[in-house]
Structure 1
Amino acid sequence: MGKGKVVVLEERVPKLKEQRRQRANRLLIAYIALFFMLLLGVVYAQSPLSNVAVIHVEGNHHIASEDVIQLSGVTKKTSFWKVKKAEVEQRIKQHPEVEEVHVKKRIPNRIDIVVVERKRIAYILDKHSFLPILDNGKVLTHAKRTIPSDAPILVGWKEGEAIQEMATQLANTPSSILNLISEIHYTPNSSDQRHITVYMNDGIEVSATVDRFAEKIVHYPSIVSQLQPGAKGVLHLEMSTYFKPYEADEGNDKNDENKR
């Protein structure tokens, strides 16, 4: 029995040694592979291959994508791994029309910039150009010249408390209502220093005041729907709400003025 056990152990020793050698070889190969992966990572990070290849801007309507990219400070020579999202977002927010911005890094080398612009709630006529007014009341004096099509035009206004309050009112007015307004004229009188005359796209004139304008103008569609089709006149939205049709001659005069 003793000799039998010795023979079995002697046969197993070479097998154990072979298993240890194979295990050691596998471990060595794993270390070598890890070393080369780290080496390749370092080389990649230091080479142009790790630079940003794509900068994609979305959500912008009035701000040019080129301007957003320039503000971001990211170029195709910038290492993808060195792009810090918070810093890029802070730089882009310096643009007066940017309300929010979100930067996303997509491996291997793409940067997505999602912009939320401030709403243009009106344009003010300044000499021969129209300057946009943002929903925070700021007038963009250096904006590119454009023909207003997405917001009403303010006529006869000067920068001050009245226009700031008007901007606040318009910012609280639904876009569906803003699209119905053509022009808003500042027409103060002895009884109301904040009186305005609003010309709607359907030809109706609205007499109102800056105060509570957003609250009252939202009822415009329902009020007009109760008028005779094609009716023209002045809708008063001051202390009380009522519609006064144009007199025949007055209506012709209004039409002549609109043509001029």
Structure 2
Amino acid sequence: MKKENVVSLEDRIPKLKQHRKKKANRRLLFLLSLFFLMILSVVYFQSPLSHVNKVSVHGNELISNKTVLQKSGIDKGMNVWSVSKEKTVEQLKKLPEVKDAKVELSFPNSFDITIQEYDKKAYLSKGNKFFVILENGKVLDKGTGSIPVDAPLLRGFEEDKVLVKMVNELGELPKEVQHLISEINLVPKKTDQYHLTLFMNDGFEVSATIRSFSEKMVHYPSIVSQLDPSVKGVIDLEVGSYFRAYETEGEQTDEEDEGER
């Protein structure tokens, strides 16, 4: 064997010692890091930083912050890591007004709750109070004594499938048309149990039926644009569409483009 390929044991020993020393240092560094991490964890969990300091609520209009906080189950002072976001969302969605919710931790110890409510579609008149009707047809328990102006007022309805159908039909209309409606009265007739009488914010009255409500009412702005705004009366949308002024018994038919649709 050639001499230059022979490595003596004396030459290898320093390299082995150096390798073992590096390995021992790495192991010691890992253990020290783990030890300090455990100490920091203990200190953190014992400190106020691990306890909920603030809970903020956003996006709610129909329900109060107090109700959201109570239903969330997140209390100031509880451990941050004991909060289950999924469980909190499930609890919040049990509120009739809540369509969806999101819970986020703002490091180190604050939570943000974002509420998505069902749209308010109308108010139901019961006695001397008015109750919010949501887009899913649910009527909220708490009523107001003042006449609402931010959504149509429904009279003559019960909390049944007819009301749900009416709310669904309202939801099919563009927002700008919904805002033109002041009152919707359910006035059943022998020929149509779903007959409606509407009072509009512009002073006109509309005769319609739930069966074709959204289909016909979507054309209301176009119909009104062809009428004399100083002559008020009834716009009949049950079959085709025609106008009858209050002052006269005659009928002015909108033959241009407001006939059968």
Q: CA deviation at 1:171?
A: 2.7
Q: Which residue of 1 aligns with 2:200?
A: 200
Q: Can you list the C-alpha shifts for 1:72-109, whole angstroms capped at 9, x where unaligned?
A: 00011221112111100010011011111122223222
Moved more, 42-51 or 206-215: 42-51
Alignment check: 8 A CA contact 2:88 2:103 kept: yes
The 5-angstrom pairing of residues 104-183 of structure 1 reads 104-143=104-143, 147-183=147-183
3-state SS of paired residue (1:193):
coil
Q: CA deviation at 1:145?
A: 5.6
In 1, distance between residues paired with 2:73 and 2:12? Answer: 68
In 1, distance between residues paired with 2:144 and 2:80? Answer: 33
In 2, distance between residues paired with 1:180 and 1:141? Answer: 26
Question: What amino acid maps onto 2:195 in structure 1?
Answer: H
Moved more, 41-50 or 237-246: 41-50
Q: Can you list the C-alpha shifts for 1:193-244, whole angstroms capped at 9, x where unaligned?
A: 2111101101111110111212221111122122234342111110111122
In 1, distance between residues paired with 2:27 and 2:84? Answer: 37
Alignment check: 8 A CA contact 2:173 2:214 kept: yes
In 2, distance between residues paired with 1:13 and 1:49? Answer: 52
1:29 to 2:29 alignment: yes
Q: Which residue of 2 aligns with 1:83?
A: 83
In 1, distance between residues paired with 2:13 and 2:166? Answer: 94
Q: CA deviation at 1:25?
A: 3.9
3-state SS of paired residue (1:188):
coil
Q: CA deviation at 1:70?
A: 0.9
Q: Can you list the C-alpha shifts for 1:50-90, whole angstroms capped at 9, x where unaligned?
A: 11222121111111122111100001122111211110001
Q: Which residue of 2 aligns with 1:189?
A: 189
Task: Give the TM-score taking structure 2 as reference length.
Answer: 0.82
Alignment check: 8 A CA contact 2:52 2:109 kept: yes
In 1, distance between residues paired with 2:144 and 2:184? Answer: 22
In 2, distance between residues paired with 1:15 and 1:147? Answer: 91
3-state SS of paired residue (2:139):
coil
Calculate the aligned-residue CA RMSD, in Å: 3.0
Alignment check: 8 A CA contact 2:149 2:182 kept: no
Question: What amino acid maps onto 2:57 in structure 1?
Answer: V
Q: Which residue of 1 aligns with 2:219?
A: 219
Q: Which residue of 2 aligns with 1:3?
A: none
Cα separation, partners in 2 of 1:161 and 1:18, compared to 1, 3 Å:
closer
In 1, distance between residues paired with 2:61 and 2:147? Answer: 15
Q: Which residue of 2 aligns with 1:239?
A: 239
Question: What amino acid maps onto 1:207 in structure 2?
Answer: S
Q: Which residue of 2 aligns with 1:41?
A: 41
The 5-angstrom pairing of residues 37-76 of structure 1 reads 37-76=37-76
Question: What amino acid maps onto 2:166 in structure 1?
Answer: M
Question: What amino acid maps onto 2:197 in structure 1?
Answer: T
Q: CA deviation at 1:160?
A: 3.2
Alignment check: 8 A CA contact 1:131 1:145 kept: no
Q: CA deviation at 1:31?
A: 2.1
Cα separation, partners in 2 of 1:126 and 1:39, compared to 1, 3 Å:
same
What stretches of structure 1 of length at least 5 have no aligned partner? 1-7, 250-260
3-state SS of paired residue (1:94):
coil
In 2, distance between residues paired with 1:143 and 1:43? Answer: 50
In 2, distance between residues paired with 1:18 and 1:94? Answer: 66
Question: What is the aligned length?
Answer: 248
Q: Which residue of 2 aligns with 1:252?
A: none
Which structure shows the higher helix fraction? Answer: 1
